[in-house]
Each structure stands twice: as structure tokens, then as C-alpha cells.
Amino acid sequence: HVHESVDEGVDARDDWARRRRKGIPTDKQLLVVACMDERIPVEDALGLSLGDAQIYRNAGGKVTDDVIRSAALTTQYFDTTEIIVVNHTDCGMMSASDEDVIEGFEAAVDGDLDDVDLDPALPELNIGDASLAEWVRMTDDIDAACAAQVEYLENHDLIPDDVSVTGYVYEVESGHLRRPGERVAEQVNERV
Amino acid sequence: HVHESVDEGVDARDDWARRRRKGIPTDKQLLVVACMDERIPVEDALGLSLGDAQIYRNAGGKVTDDVIRSAALTTQYFDTTEIIVVNHTDCGMMSASDEDVIEGFEAAVDGDLDDVDLDPALPELNIGDASLAEWVRMTDDIDAACAAQVEYLENHDLIPDDVSVTGYVYEVESGHLRRPGERVAEQVNERV
Amino acid sequence: HVHESVDEGVDARDDWARRRRKGIPTDKQLLVVACMDERIPVEDALGLSLGDAQIYRNAGGKVTDDVIRSAALTTQYFDTTEIIVVNHTDCGMMSASDEDVIEGFEAAVDGDLDDVDLDPALPELNIGDASLAEWVRMTDDIDAACAAQVEYLENHDLIPDDVSVTGYVYEVESGHLRRPGERVAEQVNERV
Amino acid sequence: HVHESVDEGVDARDDWARRRRKGIPTDKQLLVVACMDERIPVEDALGLSLGDAQIYRNAGGKVTDDVIRSAALTTQYFDTTEIIVVNHTDCGMMSASDEDVIEGFEAAVDGDLDDVDLDPALPELNIGDASLAEWVRMTDDIDAACAAQVEYLENHDLIPDDVSVTGYVYEVESGHLRRPGERVAEQVNERV
Amino acid sequence: HVHESVDEGVDARDDWARRRRKGIPTDKQLLVVACMDERIPVEDALGLSLGDAQIYRNAGGKVTDDVIRSAALTTQYFDTTEIIVVNHTDCGMMSASDEDVIEGFEAAVDGDLDDVDLDPALPELNIGDASLAEWVRMTDDIDAACAAQVEYLENHDLIPDDVSVTGYVYEVESGHLRRPGERVAEQVNERV
Amino acid sequence: HVHESVDEGVDARDDWARRRRKGIPTDKQLLVVACMDERIPVEDALGLSLGDAQIYRNAGGKVTDDVIRSAALTTQYFDTTEIIVVNHTDCGMMSASDEDVIEGFEAAVDGDLDDVDLDPALPELNIGDASLAEWVRMTDDIDAACAAQVEYLENHDLIPDDVSVTGYVYEVESGHLRRPGERVAEQVNERV
Amino acid sequence: HVHESVDEGVDARDDWARRRRKGIPTDKQLLVVACMDERIPVEDALGLSLGDAQIYRNAGGKVTDDVIRSAALTTQYFDTTEIIVVNHTDCGMMSASDEDVIEGFEAAVDGDLDDVDLDPALPELNIGDASLAEWVRMTDDIDAACAAQVEYLENHDLIPDDVSVTGYVYEVESGHLRRPGERVAEQVNERV
Amino acid sequence: HVHESVDEGVDARDDWARRRRKGIPTDKQLLVVACMDERIPVEDALGLSLGDAQIYRNAGGKVTDDVIRSAALTTQYFDTTEIIVVNHTDCGMMSASDEDVIEGFEAAVDGDLDDVDLDPALPELNIGDASLAEWVRMTDDIDAACAAQVEYLENHDLIPDDVSVTGYVYEVESGHLRRPGERVAEQVNERV
């Protein structure tokens, strides 16, 4: 009967629409942590389709407390077993000095940055004795930064030990991913 | 001469590859703040192409300190003038009680959560007297939550006053965006 | 010889063009009873192609005497073994009160509705003591209405007992079918 | 701002999903009355897209009381100003004699057809002194039948006088529409 | 080696370009005899591709001495084993009376048609006592004409007995082929 | 109203289906006379679509009495004002000697060719004192043959003087048309 | 894990980008030697894709010392095992006499050609007692020239004996390759 | 008349097939000098179509005496006014030391390289006192090499002074062209 195939479609839609409360994981059980840069085609670069992976993105693709919160939730409650970090060349985090950024922020609030809630929904959050520049996390070298983010995730207590963590640098100049440190483009211009 | 059109291509590639350090903004001067859920086709839902907008995504599409950090950087240094928040139905943040989440975290670290660095790259970060559940930010009602995130961004000191902030709820069950509170699907089942 | 494959085409065309008088049933032996609303892509929603199913459509997708006539003919003479009812949200039958509709009809005929032949080809047809509003069949709740139409068909003497009858509500707001009563869209907005 | 074009999309979806209760007519202000036969590509034959027209279909494309109910509602409440009737060659209504059909019905109910409710939702509906064969409406000549249906609609009190009514016969053997009586295929086989 | 596949292409081209003198038959060993009318998609109607069949076409798709010449050559020298005749409805050969055609010809030559060479390359060719109208071959009934052409070919001494001959009428009004006499379109308009 | 555009479609179909008896000429007022060879894509080579031109084809693309009959009819009754002749390289008419062809025919009829009706529908047709080889019309040089056919048509009394006649040779080895005598391929292999 | 398929992509890119220094040969281990003419679609004519073959092209597709240099390098260091030579009809090398070319060169340098370095990067290169016309290498017959280039390559000491060498002439007038001397186009115009 | 557009096609084909001897230049009046490497999509990278440009390619994209011969011919006789040089990263010319290459050649000829004709068609050609390594032309730095080739062409007496010469490096690792020395990929990995 035709209604049997129609019912299959109805059920598939229900599974999709109520996936989270029915306890269905992402199709690839994958969380991506990437930079929010507009030039990164995250899904295409990793070969992902809608439904395959949760995708965390922030300025720089850095492991912050928000990444830990998000990664802990998905690895512990949504059956995620893999994390891939994607940083990229020409990242905005490499486009200025720490000093210039902090000065700009101070000018913006027209006063003392200490009086600003870093988290408007959680005013109690603070960075103790750390400097604001440490919170902003500018980057010196994108390959080193990528390797560091992988390490932060591998070692954190709220991320299960058996979660696989891998990192890549997306080259905006070539449209390809590379492993951290493997700068192919610098190896092909001169006599071997 | 042919080399003139070739040169145009060479220059366009340079603009793309070194966009950030050349001070070129995103094509739409837009930052999106969305949930990391695997079912949200963020670009398609908003009609965006690669290059148009920076896209911040975390668990729940919540305004955290990491959102503030990212939004402050892009609005102050990268000429971003608009922020769009995208939350969605059947969000994972609505799939459990606060108690269940915290219990799970405690079991994971096998001890006291107070001893865990929330931010591995910035151990000084802490939430003072706030409860861990406040940091996790589970959600009761997705429309109310979306409206609240918009407000947090509109009122924060590090986001310039003239930045436009708008929020939408993406319906995973229909594939459409709605304005917070406008639940069309609940209005069409009965006699007017 | 080429004429053999040409003959196959000639025969296939004859089967198509004289299908009814040659006693060939629809490809899926299916009758659909749906609302006449312009927003219902009946074939696409059910996965049907030209030739698969007969499609009855009227205002509201209601089981009237015309539905019984049509369903009795196809189940008894054209080998149809399945009926699927498709109602839909935002149906025009839910857009006004009984009183408003009858008042409008009365104004239209500029006099007494009792003098109007309900069926111009069969003037003897009448509704006895029933009210005109019962004949018009406005709807209060689309899911309940759909379930009721299924029941009318399952119980009617002119529809063979072994005919399968199933009902769905097509959501114009989402483009999906649901089983009556399973309003997914109302279940995904709040904490479980 | 990007949210302006997003808002246009949100509003367009609301207009579509709540079209009927917002009082928006079909795109072409058209009602089609066609046969339910599986071989009639109603939309393609008339050049219609989803949203353009309401489509009434029953066995034979006959003007019954259900057609009058549906046509009266749409012309009076939904701003419909045109009706197109589509009958077709090799119609099932021409595939048997009146006697054979009635005999079959009697065998089906295994007794007296007078005891059967013609309309299960409106048991008071009856056909007075008319014969059941008149209610079933078998057809002798498809072109004459089509012209008759047009006339029924043009003359009915519940259909406003300024509604345009046109009829066509769809040829299943050619895939083309013809005006009633214009049987092109019979005019091209012999010397003029 | 790559040159091996290149050589295959070179050889295939040689077979195509010198097919006739190399004694290679048409791909389907088929000759079609069809009318020259501009509305007949001969190849599409028969499912043929370039290379499949030789296609003879003249006014009316009639078997003339030129057809016999062409058919004798291909069946005896080019391994053709099948002939398909295609006539069609609304043929120009049915658009006037014999008298009108002859009168027109006489006016054209402004004198006696007997003085005109019917075949400019073979002035000796003549039609003896036959009338010019017989040479022109106007048609009364297209199905009868098609059947007659098949018979002419089947019985001719210069066409081998084992050549298969089949005839079809192409309906310009429907785009379909029919066997001579099987006028489907005339059988589907009335009650059986 | 929608029925207006539907009526346009109905009328267009009537014009197509009854084109000849309504006195509508071919779209390009063109007759093509081409060889029946299976390798000639006549329509593509001349840039023609269905409906554009009548297409006469026989063995060799020769001007026979059948060509004169067909061309006289279309130029005088169907408003055709142009004739294009298409001959081609590697024509079957160049693949044997006159003697071989006649011998083969004699073997086929197993007796005297004089007893065979050249035209089965018109037994009175005969070739007087001409030899059968002249009737078969083998070809020595394709470019010369093409030019000769053009001349036959230009000079014939039954073809109006103002009809344009042009000839081309289609090269099966290159897929291109050339004007008779302009053998490009023979001019490009050696030093100028 | 998803990173495994991502790693495959990263490795494949590395193999492509550093193919030469990793010692990976071309996909078909093929060197093509062709004329630089703008009308030769070298890859399409030979059925090659990017990556398949190295393609040497110069004026005339002649075997010069530069061809020997290039062919020796690829056969000895890059595992190339096949060479295909592609010359073509209407080559520019056949468009003038030796005298005209030399005169033009002399006019260009406005003096003695002996004072001009034939190779600006290697001024010591000279042609001894040979004439400049021999160095320019105009062509008399394209098929003979093609065969000669094949022979030069087959016999040269720096090309390994087991390298396969094949030559073709690309016909710009037909878009096809032919083997040297096989001028199909000249064989299909006249009676066999 | 249709034959007019057919004639246009016939003439266009003649212009294409006899372009060189009719004195018609390339469509862009351009000569490209590129490396023969299999990874360089020369036409795509420069935006060229068939017919646009002559394309010289050798090992390394070096300016040899063969380049001078080819460039002199096209600039002086074929109206070419522009030359573009395309070298590329990971060129085979950078994959070994001079010594290794010469040793390999010596092993290949199994004796003295002095006895080998560098140019088999022109045995008088020799390199005087230059070393064989100079003739092979290995490369140390691809950007410097590209700039040098441009200079050789700009300064040569046989290339007219008003010919435009431009050079690019094609990056096999990114699929993009760059101007010599502009290594974008090396500028985007670290903090500015």
C-alpha cells in the first residue's frame, strides 16, 4: 500500500524534527570547532552534509570556556565521539598587536574595562588576575595555535578520554586543508 | 591585452587571501550568532554565500563571554554593523533538566567540578558565586530565549550602539525561520 | 527488427489511451481524497506520478455523497484497493463561522435557499431536515476532522471492507504530512 | 541590512501558511473542476503552478451538489472569478451501462440500496424520486457532457453571474486539450 | 599505451567515413519510407539515432519508381533487411482534388503538360497511357494508403522476399504512431 | 482569465494538426532534397527544427521524376520558395560500377528486368529507350553530381522561376557542408 | 572517524602539489609533442585529462634540441614511457617559402642574423654551417613531416629504446586525427 | 533564405580550416610560453578558449632557441602582439642537482655526450664551450626563473619591441597564478 511509504516519510520527519529529545546523535557523531571567518566553507572542506556534525565557531577557533561547555554537553549527552578543530591562514586574530586591541576596547567603553561584564548572562564570570589580552587570545603562528587547541581538548577533564581530536589549518589562499606545520606552499618554490 | 584580465584575477585572489590584514570587511558586514546544531543550514536559511558573514556558533546560540569577545572584535575592527541571532526548535538545551546535566558532569570528572578549569587556556577564568547550571544555560522556552539573547547584545558596552541586532527561531520541523513568539504552526489547526 | 520495438510503443499508447475500457486499473490501485486548496501538492506529498492514482478533491477534503459515488465506482469497477485522505492546516473550512457562511449564501441568492437546487443535474437531491450548515460542513479542528473522514469511509457499505483507508494532515506551514493529532510543531518549543 | 531580506522571507511564509484566514485568494483566482482520472495532468495541461488554482476533482468531472458547495464557497469567500471544467476521453463514466453499474452496487451492499446513506456525514441527504443511475451519472458522449457541465455552473444561483466558466476535453490519447466538439483527430484522416 | 585508444578512435572514424565503400551496413539494417512533411520527427518517432537507418522521404510517402530504385539498391547491396513505411494524418496529398492539382500544373507550364519531361535527368521516362493524376497520387484515406504502400513493397520483384515490411500512420495531432486502421482517437469519445 | 492562454494553446495545436488543409506553409518555406544515407543529420547540418522544412530524401539525392512531383506540389500549393540539395561524400551511388549493379538486379529478378514494373502503383511508367543504368543513376564525382542536380531543378518547367535553388556536399568524414567543388580538406596538407 | 577521510584528502593534495619531488610520474606516463597552433585541442583529441600527460608544444610540432632536452628529462627521470607526436593540417609552417621567412627575419633585426643569439639564455648555442632556414624548419607536406618527427625520436640516443613513439595528423578542417598518409577526405569523393 | 545562414556556416568553417594560409591571426593575438607539466591547466588558468592563443610548452617553460624560433615566427607573420610566460611551483626542473642530471644522461648514452646530436634534424647545432648543464637549464628559484624568462623575451632582437611580455607563476598547490615574487601563501601564517 502507498500509505506505508508515506508513513516512512512521516516517521523520518519526526526523527529529524525531534532528534534531540529522542536521543538521536548527529549522523557522524562529530563536533567541529572552527573559526567564524566568512571565508571558511566548513562543511565543504570536511565533506559534511546537513545533519552530519555540530559546528562550533568563534573568533579564532580557540578553545574557550564556551567550547568546553559545548563540547562537554555533546560528548556526554549526544553521543559525539570525535572533535575536529579548524583554524585558518590570514585569521583576524593575527591582524593586530595585543596592545592595539586592548586600546580599542578601552576607547569603546570609554572608561575602565574592569567594570564591563564579560558575560552579560552570567555577570559573576571573571578572569581573576589574568590580563584582558589573555582573554582576547590573539595569535602569533596559526600552525602552533591549531596544535595547542587540539591539546587543550585532549587533556580536559570534561571531554571523555576516548574522544578523537584532530586539527587542521584551512588555507584561504588555496582552498585546501593542511595538517598543522605542513606548509606545502613553502616547500615547492626552490630546488630540492 | 590578455594579461590585464589575468591581473584582475591575481588581484582578486590576493584580496580574498589577505582580506583580514588588508582591512577588507565581510561582504555583508554581518555576524551571525547561531546554535551549533547539525540541522541548521545557517547560510541557506539567511540567504548567505561564502564571504558574506562571519558565523559564530555554540551550544544553544547563547550570548556567552566568547560571543562578546568575538562580536566586540568584529564590530570594532572588521567593520561589522549587523548581528543576527538564530536559535531553533528542539534545541539540545531543552532536552534535559539542570540537575541531570550537572549530575552527569560530576560523574564525568569523578569528583568536584570546582577543581576543573572551565577555560583550559585561561585557568584564571571563574564564575564566582554563580552555579554551574547558570554557566551551562539550559533553556525553557526557545522564543523567550531568543529574545533574551538579542537584548544581551543590544545592551552590551563592547558592542557599538548603532549595530543592528535581530533574532529568529529556525524551525527544524518546517525548515523556516520565524520571529520569536510568532508560532505560525500553532495558529492554523483550528477554526478562527 | 525495429518494427518490434515500435509495436511495443504503439501497444503501450493504446493501453494508456484506452485504459479504462480495457479494464486496466491505476498503477497504484489508489484513490486519494484531498482538499481542493491551491497549496496542496498532492502528488508530490504522496510520492505519486501521473498514472498512479485517482485524485478526488473538494472543499475541505470531506466525505460527501459525491465522494461515496466516486469511491464506490473505483473500488468496485476499477480495482482500487486503497484510499488516502489528505486534509490540511489553514483550511478555508476553518476561516469563518457557520452563521457567516449561511448569511453570505442567502445574500447571494437574494431570497430563500430552500428554493435553490443543491445539485443542478439532479434536482431531486435534498437534505431533508438537515440544516444547510451541515451540508456546507465547516471544520473546528483539522486533526479531528481528518480522523472522522477516515471513519466515514471505513464504515460505508459501498466501500468494500478490505479497502485500506488512511488519513494525513498536510501542513501548509511546513510542507510535511503528519498523522492526525501528531502536531510535531507544538512539541519542540519548550523544555521536555 | 540582511535582516530586511530575511524578514521578507518570514512574511512571505506567513502569507502562504495563513493565506486563507488572511483573506488572500489563489494566485489566478481560479477553480478547476476536473475528473479524478489518474491520466489527467491537470496543472500541466492548464499551465498552472502550485498556488495558482483550487482544483476540484470527482468521478467524471460532473457538477454535483459537492461541486456547487465548493464553487459557491470559493467564489463568494475566496475571490475566485473563473471556473474551468476539464473532462476527458476514455472516461470511466463511459465504460459500462447504467444497468451494470447499479447491479454491481446492489451486489456490493447485498440488499436494498435504499437503506444506504448516500452521504455518511449527512444521512438526511436523499435523491427523492430520482433513480440511483441518475445519481451515478454515467456518460454517453464526452463532448456533450462537458458542454452540459459548463451550462450547469453558468446558470446556478449560488455562482455569481460574472464568474467566467469554460470547458475543455482533455484527450488522453494525444495529451492535448480541445474545446467540446472540436475533434481534430477525426478531421485529418481523409481527403478534404 | 595511450596511442592504442587513440588508434581505436582513428579506426572508428575511418569506418564511419568510408562505411559504404567498406561494405558496412546501416546499424539497424533498416530503410524507412516516409512522407516529406515538415511535422514528422521520423527518427524520434521510430527511436532511431544517426547511423541507424536510411530514410527515404517524398510527397506522401508513396511507393514510386524512385522508392523501388532506392529500396532495391539498399536491400541488394547494403544488407538492408527491413523497411518501415510512415504516412501521416493531415497529409498534403489529401488537401485538394485531383482536378485542382492538374489544373494548377497546367497553368504553371502555361501549355501542355505532355511536353514536360517528368524526369529531367532521364527524358525517356514517361507514363504511357496513364493520367497525370495517377502520377501525382493524391490520397483519399491515409490508413488505406499506408496499407497499400506496404503491399506494393512486399510484392515487388526487386525487393527480396525475406525483407520485413511494416507500415504506420503518424498522427500529427497526437505525436503518436498507429497501425493503419487503428484510429484510437475515434474510439474513446463515447460510451462503450 | 486563464482560459485565454489555454485557448491560445488549443488554437496553436489546431494550426499544427491541420496545417496543410488550413493552407499554412512550412516555417521556412523550404524543401530539402537530400540523400537517404544514414549518416546525414539533415536538420542539424542546415540548422533546421521540426516544422521548418519538408525533406525529400532518396538514394543519392538525385533529381528524379518523384522529386519533380514533390517539388512541383510544394512550390505551387504550399508556398515553398526555396530548395536546398544535399549530396554527400562516400555516397553509396559511388560504391560500384554500373555493370555490377545491373547484373545484381538481373540476378535478383531471375530473368528479364524489362518485365518488372518500375513503379508498382503506376505500371504504365517506363523509361523508353533509356538503359536501366541511366535509371539507377550511379555517380562518378560527388561535387559534379551536386551541381547537376541544382541545374535540373533550376531549369524545370514545373518549378517556378523565382524559387531559390542551392546545393551543398555534406562531408561524412568531417561533419561539415561544403559548396560543390570547394574541397577544403585537399588544400591544407601542403606548402602553399 | 571523519578525520580519516579528511586525511586522505590532505594526502592526495600533498601528492599532487609535490608530485615531482616525490617522484610520482604523470598518470599516463605520456609525453605529447604537438604544434602550438591555437586550433589544436590537444587534450580532447587524445582523450586526456589534467594530470595525464606532459605536453610539449612548439611551432610546427618539430623535434628540436629543446624537444630532445624535454623528452630526455621526462623519459629518464619521470618514468615516461610513451611519446605521441601531433602535427596538423594548415600548419603555419606551410604558409610561406623559406626565402620569405628569412627575408622577414633579416628585416626585423635590421642587419645580419649571424649577430643574433639564437638562444638568449645560452649564447654559445649555434648552428655551425647550417642555414637559418634549416633552423626555422618550414614544412612541405604535413604527413611526411609527421612521419619524420617520429623517426627522429625513435632513433635518438637520449630517448630509451623501449619508449613507444606514435604520430598523428590532426585535421583542423574535420576535428579528427589521422595516421600520417591516411587522407580519408581525399578518398571519398569519387566512384571507387 | 535558409541557404544564406548555411553559407555563413560554410564560410566560417573555411576561415577556421584555412586560417593560417588566409592570414587570420589567433583570436587574442597571444602566444603563451608555459611548462609542459601535466598539472598546468594553461587555458583555464588564463581564461582562454580554443582559437584564442598559440601555446608553446617545454620542460620548465624556459626561453630556448626553439622558443625564439616560434615566437619570432608568430610575432612577425601571424600578428601576435602579446606573450605570457607561465612557470609553476614544484617544477621538475627543481627536482634534482645539475650533477645528477648530467650523470644520468651520460649513463643513458653509455659514453660521451659530445657525440650525441642535440638536435637530430639539425646535427650542426651545438653549444660551443657551454656545459651541458647550461643547456639542460635546471632551476633554483621559480620566481626568479620566471622573471628571467620575461627579460629574455623582452630583449631579444627577433621579438618586436612593442610585443607585451608578462610572466606568472602557477601554484600547483593552490590552483592560482601569482606574479613572480608575490608568494601570498608565505604571508598569511603569522601575526602581522
pLDDT tens per residue across span D131-163: 999 999 999 999 999 999 999 999 999 999 999
Taking the CA atoms of chain D, what radius of gyration do you get in angstroms?
20
The pLDDT-based confidence of D115 (bands split at 50, 70, 90) is: confident
Secondary structure class of G34 (helix, strand, coil): strand
How does strand F53-58 pair with strand F82-88? unpaired
Assess whether pLDDT exceeds 90 at residue F114: no
Determine the Cα angle at F141 with ends F135 and F143, to 5°: 110
Contacts of A23 (CB under 8 A, 6+ apart): none
**Predicted pLDDT at A125:** 96
Question: CA of C184, closest CA in chain D: separation in Å?
Answer: 16
Q: Are F78 and F162 in contact (CB under 8 A)?
A: no
Which of chain B's residues have a Cβ under 8 Å away from the Cβ of A172? 16-17, 19
Q: Are C128 and D125 in contact (CB under 8 A)?
A: yes
The pLDDT-based confidence of F116 (bands split at 50, 70, 90) is: very high
Assess whether pLDDT exceeds 90 at residue B4: yes
Distance between CA atoms of G30 and G81, rounded to whole angstroms?
A: 6
What is the arithmetic mean of pLDDT over F11-35? 98
Distance between CA atoms of A90 and H190, rounded to whole angstroms?
A: 8
Assess whether pLDDT exceeds 90 at residue D60: yes
Distance between CA atoms of A185 and H186, rounded to whole angstroms?
A: 7
Distance between CA atoms of F92 and F36, rounded to whole angstroms?
A: 10
**Predicted pLDDT at G109:** 86
Question: CA of C46, closest CA in chain D: separation in Å?
Answer: 14
**Predicted pLDDT at B113:** 84
Which of chain A's residues have a Cβ under 8 Å away from the Cβ of C179? 7, 10
Rounded alpha-carbon distances, angstroms, from residue H98 to A81, G54, G160, H93, H134:
52, 22, 20, 10, 9
Mean pLDDT of chain G: 97
* Binding partners of F (≥3 Cβ pairs within 8 A): D, E, G, H
C-alpha cell belonging to residue F14:
489546431
The residue of chain G with its CA nearest to that of E13 is: G176
Assess whether pLDDT exceeds 90 at residue D182: yes
Which of chain D's residues have a Cβ under 8 Å away from the Cβ of C65? 64-66, 118-119, 122, 125, 135
- Given an 8 Å threshold on Cβ–Cβ distance, is H47 in contact with B6? yes
- Given an 8 Å threshold on Cβ–Cβ distance, is D188 in contact with F9? no
CA E4 to chain centre: 42
- Asked which of B58-72, C101-115, E134-148, H34-48 is least confident by mean pLDDT, the reply is C101-115
Distance between CA atoms of G6 and A100, rounded to whole angstroms?
A: 37
CATH architecture for residues A28-95+140-192: 3-Layer(aba) Sandwich (3.40)
CATH class, domain D26-96+138-186, is alpha beta
Q: What number of CA atoms fall less than 13 Å from residue G172's CA on the CB side?
A: 28
Distance between CA atoms of C149 and C159, rounded to whole angstroms?
A: 13
- Asked which of C156-165, D107-116, E116-125 is least confident by mean pLDDT, the reply is D107-116
With a pLDDT cut of 90, the percent of chain D lying above it is 95
Determine the Cα angle at A7 with ends A2 and A12, to 5°: 135
C-alpha cell belonging to residue A80:
559525539
What is the arithmetic mean of pLDDT over A103-115? 87
What is the arithmetic mean of pLDDT over F153-177? 97
The residue of chain E with its CA nearest to that of F154 is: E120
Assess whether pLDDT exceeds 90 at residue A73: yes
Beta carbons within 10 angstroms of residue D151's beta carbon = 15
Assess whether pLDDT exceeds 90 at residue B166: yes
Q: Looking at the DSSP assignment, which residues form a beta bridge with residue H167?
A: H85
The CATH T-level fold of domain B25-96+138-181 is Beta-carbonic Anhydrase; Chain A (3.40.1050)
The fourth-level CATH superfamily of domain G23-96+138-192 is Carbonic anhydrase (3.40.1050.10)
Assess whether pLDDT exceeds 90 at residue B109: no
ipTM at complex level = 0.95
C-alpha cell belonging to residue C169:
494532515
| CATH code matching the domain that covers C28-94+138-186, chosen among 3.30.750.24, 2.60.40.650, 3.40.1050.10, 1.10.3720.10 | 3.40.1050.10
Assess whether pLDDT exceeds 90 at residue D76: yes
Distance between CA atoms of A133 and B82, rounded to whole angstroms?
A: 25
Domain coordinates in residue numbering, chain E: 26-94+138-186, 97-137
The pLDDT-based confidence of D110 (bands split at 50, 70, 90) is: confident
Residue type, D136: V
What is the arithmetic mean of pLDDT over B110-124? 90
**Predicted pLDDT at H112:** 82
Model confidence over B19-56: pLDDT tens digits? 999 999 999 999 999 999 999 999 999 999 999 999 99
The residue of chain G with its CA nearest to that of A82 is: G1
- Given an 8 Å threshold on Cβ–Cβ distance, is G19 in contact with H41? no
Model confidence over A158-182: pLDDT tens digits? 999 999 999 999 999 999 999 999 9
The pLDDT-based confidence of E180 (bands split at 50, 70, 90) is: very high
The residue of chain H with its CA nearest to that of F179 is: H10
Model confidence over H60-109: pLDDT tens digits? 999 999 999 999 999 999 999 999 999 999 999 999 999 999 999 998 88
Domain E26-94+138-186 matching CATH 3.40.1050.10: the answer reads yes
**Predicted pLDDT at F109:** 86
The pLDDT-based confidence of E110 (bands split at 50, 70, 90) is: confident
- Given an 8 Å threshold on Cβ–Cβ distance, is H173 in contact with A175? no
Nearest to C137 among D95, D121, D137 (CB): D121
Distance between CA atoms of E171 and D184, rounded to whole angstroms?
A: 11
Assess whether pLDDT exceeds 80 at residue E14: yes
**Predicted pLDDT at F80:** 98
Question: CA of B158, closest CA in chain A: separation in Å?
Answer: 6
Question: CA of B8, closest CA in chain A: separation in Å?
Answer: 16
**Predicted pLDDT at E162:** 96
C-alpha cell belonging to residue C177:
504530512
Query: C110 or A125: which carries more pLDDT confidence?
Result: A125
- Asked which of B126-130, F100-104, F108-112, H186-190 is least confident by mean pLDDT, the reply is F108-112
Distance between CA atoms of F13 and F27, rounded to whole angstroms?
A: 15
Q: Are H78 and H25 in contact (CB under 8 A)?
A: yes
Which of chain E's residues have a Cβ under 8 Å away from the Cβ of D96? 192
Assess whether pLDDT exceeds 90 at residue E28: yes
Which of chain B's residues have a Cβ under 8 Å away from the Cβ of C188? 89-90, 171-173
Contacts of E177 (CB under 8 A, 6+ apart): C6, C9, C10, C13, E45, E46, E86, E168, E169, E170, E171
Assess whether pLDDT exceeds 90 at residue B114: no
Assess whether pLDDT exceeds 80 at residue C111: no
Model confidence over H162-183: pLDDT tens digits? 999 999 999 999 999 999 999 9
With a pLDDT cut of 90, the percent of chain E lying above it is 95
**Predicted pLDDT at A57:** 98
Question: CA of C88, closest CA in chain B: separation in Å?
Answer: 8
Query: C112 or A157: which carries more pLDDT confidence?
Result: A157
Which of chain D's residues have a Cβ under 8 Å away from the Cβ of E139? 191
Assess whether pLDDT exceeds 80 at residue F111: no
Distance between CA atoms of C171 and F113, rounded to whole angstroms?
A: 79
Assess whether pLDDT exceeds 90 at residue E63: yes
Q: Counting Cβ atoms within 10 Å, is residue F21 exposed (0-12), middle (13-18) or buried (19+)?
A: middle
H and A interact (at least 3 Cβ pairs within 8 A) = yes
* Binding partners of B (≥3 Cβ pairs within 8 A): A, C, D, H
Mean pLDDT of chain F: 97
Nearest to E28 among C2, C10, C21 (CB): C2
Model confidence over G89-139: pLDDT tens digits? 999 999 999 999 999 999 888 878 888 999 999 999 999 999 999 999 999
**Predicted pLDDT at H108:** 87
Mean pLDDT of chain A: 97
The pLDDT-based confidence of E113 (bands split at 50, 70, 90) is: confident
| Residue-wise DSSP of A38-71 | TT--HHHHHT--TTSEEEEEETTS---HHHHHHH
In the β-sheet with B53-58, what is the strand arrangement from edge to edge?
A: A176-178, A164-171, A82-88, A30-35, A53-58, B53-58, B30-35, B82-88, B164-171, B176-178
Mutate to test the interface with B, among H177, H183, H190, H191 (most CBs of B within 10 A): H177
Distance between CA atoms of D55 and F83, rounded to whole angstroms?
A: 50
Which of chain D's residues have a Cβ under 8 Å away from the Cβ of B44? none
Secondary structure class of F55 (helix, strand, coil): strand
Which of chain G's residues have a Cβ under 8 Å away from the Cβ of H172? 16-17, 19
**Predicted pLDDT at A111:** 77
Nearest to G95 among H20, H89, H156 (CB): H20
What is the arithmetic mean of pLDDT over G137-157? 98
* Binding partners of H (≥3 Cβ pairs within 8 A): A, B, F, G
The pLDDT-based confidence of H115 (bands split at 50, 70, 90) is: confident
**Predicted pLDDT at B112:** 82
- Asked which of A26-30, D102-106, H150-154 is least confident by mean pLDDT, the reply is D102-106
The single-letter DSSP state of residue H92 is G
Mean pLDDT of chain E: 97
User: Which residues of chain H are at the F interface, by a Cβ-Cβ cutoff of 8 Å?
Assistant: 1-3, 5-7, 9-10, 13-14, 17-18, 21
Assess whether pLDDT exceeds 90 at residue E112: no
What is the arithmetic mean of pLDDT over D45-55? 98
Rounded alpha-carbon distances, angstroms, from residue D28 to A103, D43, D93, D150, F4:
62, 12, 30, 19, 12
The CATH T-level fold of domain H25-94+138-192 is Beta-carbonic Anhydrase; Chain A (3.40.1050)
Beta strand residue intervals within H49-125, DSSP E: 53-58, 82-88
- Grid cell 576535428 is found at G175
